[in-house]
Amino acid sequence: MTEPTAKPPSTTFTAGLGHSLAYLLSKAERSVNRGLAAVLATEQLSVEQWRILQALADGRGHSMGDLAEAALMPHPTLTKAVDRLVDRALVYRGHDPSDRRRVAVFLADRGRSLLHRLEGGLAEHHRAILAAFGAERTESLMRDLESLVTGLER
């Protein structure tokens, strides 16, 4: 008696998950972030730390609460990440310009320089996504995801 041919474990195990939007979004995020993490590794920066720096790039300074939301991080994790960025002199804490009683986080000149150094690698990462998925489909996907987030947050 011969044994039935088994499917590879990854397709057998994930077959049901493949019908889950949450699963597919997470899988897509991992694929996109893998390439992003490789670019950021050249500057010993995590994806989460990059999000923080990007959020601060507007030059206005932001509260920890605003940063947690922008960087998609829980507060305790954000605090540790900001502490590491402060240690590297990439960001600094100061008074919130709109309320001097509150503390805000600002992008330091060194952090701005780091973001500029990453621009080429980030642009290449984006080009790789466009090559794999197509420019129109990528733009459409981004619009659809923004609409999904807006709809779910109502």
* The pLDDT of residue 10: 54
> Judging by beta carbons within 10 Å of its beta carbon (0-12, 13-18, 19+), is residue 33 exposed, middle or buried?
middle
| 17 Cβ neighbours under 8 A, 6+ residues apart | 23
125, 39 contact by CB (below 8 A): yes
* The pLDDT of residue 102: 87
**Tokens 């077959």 identify what position?**
15
CA dist 88 and 108 (Å) reads: 10
* The pLDDT of residue 98: 78
Q: How far is CA 126 from the centre of its chain?
A: 13
CA dist 61 and 96 (Å) reads: 7
Domains of the chain, start order: 32-153 (1.10.10.10)
* Closest-CA residue to 28 (of 135, 133, 154): 133
Output the pTM of the full model.
0.83
| pLDDT, block means (10 residues), the chain with 154 residues | 53 68 94 96 96 95 93 95 98 87 94 97 96 96 96 93
* The pLDDT of residue 1: 54
